[in-house]
Amino acid sequence: MSGWIFFAESATQAISGFRNVSEQNGISISIVGMLLVFIVLSLITALLTALPHVVEKLNEIYPPSQEHHAPVQTSANDEEDAVLAAIGFVLHTQMARTRD
């Protein structure tokens, strides 16, 4: 008998718990909430998937090199000079170490 009472009490508590979930619209809030999160992030995913193609079209009309803050174009000669300077620096430091 006492076992039945315990079970009945437990069942009442369990019903109360689920009753609170139901009365407070827990399931519907959760479903709507998850749906909205998925809708927002799905939309962002779709737009980001299309973004590279949009940027490619934009680059044809307005190339990045024409931007006000576009990086300065260096000529091939400038880069070659920089490489030669770097090689010279490394050689110099290596020779200095050998002398020491």
Which residues form the interface with another protein (CB under 8 A)? Answer: 16-18, 20-21, 24-27, 29-34, 36-49, 51-52, 54-55, 58-59, 64, 69
Name the helix (H) or strand (E) containing 60: helix 26-61
d(Cα 81, Cα 86) in Å, to the nearest integer?
Answer: 9
Closer Cβ to another protein, 41 or 84, answer by number = 41
CB of 49 to another protein, least distance (A): 5
CB of 73 to another protein, least distance (A): 16
d(Cα 34, Cα 40) in Å, to the nearest integer?
Answer: 10
CB of 85 to another protein, least distance (A): 27
CB of 86 to another protein, least distance (A): 24
d(Cα 39, Cα 33) in Å, to the nearest integer?
Answer: 10
Closer Cβ to another protein, 6 or 62, answer by number = 62
d(Cα 10, Cα 15) in Å, to the nearest integer?
Answer: 9
